[in-house]
Amino acid sequence: MSVPASLLPELEDVVQHGSAEKRAETLRRITTLFLDGAPSFRAEHIALFDDVIGCLIEEIEAKALAELARRIAPVANAPAGVVSTLAKNDDIAVAGPVLKQARLADRDLMYIAENKSQAHLLAMSTRLGINEALADTLVERGDREVARSIANNRHAHLSDNVFTTLVERAEQDGVLAEKVGMRTDIPPRLFRQLLMRASEVVQKLLAKAKPETQTEIQRVLAQVTDEVAAKAAPRNYAAALAAVRRLHSQHKLGETDIADFARSGKYEETIAALAILCAVPVEVVDRLMNGERSDPVLILARASGFGWQTVKAILNGRPGAKPSPHGLDVARENFERLTVITAQRVVRFWQVWQGTGD
């Protein structure tokens, strides 16, 4: 195979003296010639086109380069040198198509991941067969959209380090939390951590996940409840329950009462009231409230329709060290993101798991 004789004099003239328009037109013709024969070309043929096209694209406008990138990106044996040059172009319209699907050497991919724009990283994040090293760099440098895209790419191989970073970032990003939680390769300890840090995503995972994943979510929630129970100190709630039940029977038990109990340091009454209003056993509420995290308080309060001031009073009324201002700010952000439906779904789990549901 050789470039047709009629093109040889023209090609030499274009490379040496041709205008941008003439170079672009010649590039289209050479590209078409390559695409027409690509399935049957041998290595020496590809190398020839690599040299010819490589010369033509040295000084050519971005529009022609973008067209070239779109045309050769899907071709399995596209000229490696040309593909590498296009992938490193600063214009994402040129680099994007080849970054998404063309064959590229690992060293080129790493260079681009370490040095190019977020748009380049986002295009790369959709590639098939991303290895762990490349995923590490993409997640380390990438913004929110890159992180979401990597998490959604089932063909990307993610290390424990990448999963750890994604789970940490998911605490402030419900969309990312859902995408990470749907991955079947997430390490169990990080899956557990994800569910505890991003409780608002539990409902979505339960709704969308495969049956085996739904079972695992419920198992994790049950395990956490057991762990909290093991740390809880026994308390006697008999008197508090009796007092609160009297109020409830008189239709006098509500959010204001719980807030007053919490502000007055009446911890047993606070727990008893939450248990009765949420229809969760008092022992379970006590165990959940004794945990380090604020999530159970947020869930119980949101499920009951309480406002932030009541939540704040309950958090401040728990035994032990009081939450810091920053801790309260984070809790408030999580509370505002948490939906009533999600909270009620988790509370329902606590009820059913304890055998108290309908």
Domain that holds residue 279: 238-353
Is the pTM for the entire model greater than 0.75?
no
* Per-residue model confidence (pLDDT) at position 211: 67
| Highest mean pLDDT out of 54-63, 113-122, 207-216, 306-315 | 113-122
Specify the DSSP class assigned to residue 320.
Answer: S
CA 103 to chain centre: 26
Q: Is residue 333 part of a domain?
A: yes
- Is 137 within 8 Å of 107 (Cβ atoms)? no
Which pair of tokens denotes residue 54?
A: 């490589």
**How many separate helices (H) and strands (E) can be counted in the chain?**
23, 0
Q: Is residue 130 part of a domain?
A: no
* 167-203 pLDDT tens trace: 889 888 888 888 887 787 888 778 777 766 555 555 5
* Per-residue model confidence (pLDDT) at position 91: 97
Q: Is residue 174 part of a domain?
A: no
- Is 224 within 8 Å of 194 (Cβ atoms)? no
Domain boundary among the residues 104, 132, 156 is at 104
pLDDT for residue 67 is more than 70 = yes
Average pLDDT of the chain is: 82
Q: Is residue 299 part of a domain?
A: yes
* Per-residue model confidence (pLDDT) at position 287: 77
pLDDT for residue 231 is more than 70 = no
* Per-residue model confidence (pLDDT) at position 66: 95
Domain boundary among the residues 104, 123, 143 is at 104
Structural domains counted in the chain: 2
Q: Is residue 249 part of a domain?
A: yes
What do you get for the CA distance between the two ends of the chain, in Å?
78
Domain boundary among the residues 69, 104, 139 is at 104
Q: Is residue 204 part of a domain?
A: no
Which residues neighbour 108 within 8 Å (Cβ) at sequence distance 6 or greater?
84, 87, 88
Select from 237, 241, 260 the least CA-distant residue to 249: 241
Average confidence (pLDDT) over 102-119:
96
C-alpha dihedral, 27 to 30 to 36 to 40, nearest 10° = -130
